Amino acid sequence: MNYCSNCGDRVKFDTPAGDDRPRYLCESCGTIHYENPKMVVGSIPEKDRKILLCRRAIEPRSGKWTLPAGYLENGETVAQGARREALEEAGADIQILAPFALFNICHVNQIYLMFRARMVDENIKAGSESTEVRFFLEEDIPWDQIAFTVIENSLRLYFKDRPTGSYPFHIGDIRRAGN
């Protein structure tokens, strides 16, 4: 960040009085610019024991498979955001069942919240961020083509819990490769 979004003057990177970490500060108007993690919300939509996956049309990881997920927008709840992402990416109308997993991805400043979800109907169509959307049985999941570690971890936990029908809430960390 070079300029203050409040007044337009240059900012400096320094620790504000009473704070414990450096932030972007505007000496002209006194604004402190906080940068906080981005919240990503998504779902694991299921219909007849099949999971809905989307093939990404955008970077990063274009061409790889993922669950419908994306950044939470201002003014929406986490459940609303997860439903919106399923609709935008897969044309899928889903019913949110329960929060399933939360993952901290500190090296990219993201927090993922994944929900269990049920398809309201079988109507799906690729949105602008997907080239293809399909239902997969567990044994047909293209594991070597999953876009992100957080998505693979969510699916593996889901399939581990599914035989018992008990889905405890999971919390975990996704670390940078090699850490």
Burial class of residue 39 in the structure, from the number of CB atoms within 10 Å of its CB (0-12 exposed, 13-18 middle, 19+ buried): middle
**Cα–Cα distance between 166 and 150 in angstroms, integer?**
21
- How far is it, in rounded angstroms, from Cα 83 to Cα 97? 11
pLDDT of residue 178: 72
Assigned token pair, 66: 């993922």
Q: Which fold has domain 38-173?
A: Nucleoside Triphosphate Pyrophosphohydrolase (3.90.79)
Check residue 108 and give its pLDDT.
96
Position 179 scores a pLDDT of 60
Residue 177: its pLDDT value, please?
A: 80
Residue 122 CA: distances (Å) to CA of 36, 103, 125, 171 = 37, 29, 10, 30
Helix (H, G, I), strand (E, B) or coil at 19: coil
What is d(CA 47, CA 49) in angstroms, rounded to the nearest whole number? 5
Q: Please list the ranges in the chain whose pLDDT falls under 70.
A: 179
Half-sphere exposure of residue 122: CA atoms within 13 angstroms, side-chain side: 7
Q: List 152's β-bridge partners, or say none.
A: none
Sequence-distant (6+) residues with CB within 8 A of 8 are none
Alpha helices, DSSP H only, in the chain?
78-90, 149-161
Maximum pairwise Cα distance, the chain: 60
The pTM of the full predicted model, rounded to 2 decimals, is 0.92
Domain residue ranges of the chain, discontinuous segments joined by +: 1-35, 38-173
Question: Which pLDDT value is given to residue 135?
Answer: 98
Between CA 139 and CA 126, with CA 82 as vertex, the angle to 5 degrees is 60
The pLDDT assigned to 44 comes to 98
- Fold observed for domain 1-35: Ubiquitin Ligase Nedd4; Chain: W; (2.20.70)
